[in-house]
Amino acid sequence: MAVQERARRTREKVLTAAAEVFAAQGYDRATLTAVAERIGMTKGALYGHFPSKRSLAGALIDDSRQAWTSLRTEHDAPGADAGGVLEGVVMGFAGRLQTDVRLRATVRLAADCPSLARALCDVLVEVRGALTELVRRAQRDSGFPAYPPRLVAHLLMIVMYGLLQAPAGCAGDHGTPGGEPLWRLLFTALSGVEVPSAVHGEGGVVSDP
């Protein structure tokens, strides 16, 4: 059992190191040697966990799917308000994109490696489908406005990706993970609630110019 746990921890370290290398250098320039050196492992030992760079990238994509599933399970508890679930899942995933190098690496992998893009596309299709269903539930159970659910889901994903590309310090007010003030503004706008000309809150002030 101790051997299995040690192997699991080593695998996790390798995945994080690979994500850091992929995120910084891109798929083509990344090497297994660079990944191994990052955690003080020999290349031969690394091969014992992942036989190729492609297998490492594939494992990161699988990891992103598990992260999404775990996040949705965390927020989508039985009896939870559907609108709250939608906000929690979206803001949680956006925050993870900002703070989790593994998720950021998968986004770059999609752009850098067309042969892996389909696998990541499958994950994104799964995310968009889940968001679409959450929007439908929020419309049915929580009074969320009747915009086309697919369109809303697509908009949410565009904003998530846009926050990931924003320059450092611009994604969130006062370093707020995932750009929480921006999400609050977006969900308020989608809800159709009138926003006062100046909103004072703990995270700062948003006001008319």
Query: Is the pLDDT higher at 176 or at 68?
Result: 68
Q: Residue 193 — very low, low, confident or very high, per pLDDT cuts 50/70/90? A: low
HSE-up of residue 37 (Cα within 13 Å, Cβ side): 6
Summarised one tens digit per residue, pLDDT across range 1-36 is: 576 888 888 899 999 999 999 988 888 899 999 999
Q: With 60 as the cut, is the pLDDT of residue 100 above it?
A: yes
Q: What is the pTM of this model?
A: 0.73
* CB-CB neighbours of 24 under 10 Å: 13
Q: With 60 as the cut, is the pLDDT of residue 45 above it?
A: yes
- Residue 19's pLDDT is what? 93
- Residue 200's pLDDT is what? 42
By CB neighbour count within 10 A (0-12 exposed, 13-18 middle, 19+ buried), where does 126 fall? Answer: middle
Closest alpha carbon to 106 in 16, 165, 23: 23
Q: With 80 as the cut, is the pLDDT of residue 164 above it?
A: no
Q: With 60 as the cut, is the pLDDT of residue 78 above it?
A: yes
Average pLDDT over residues 80-99: 87
- Whole-angstrom Cα distance, residue 106 to residue 20? 11
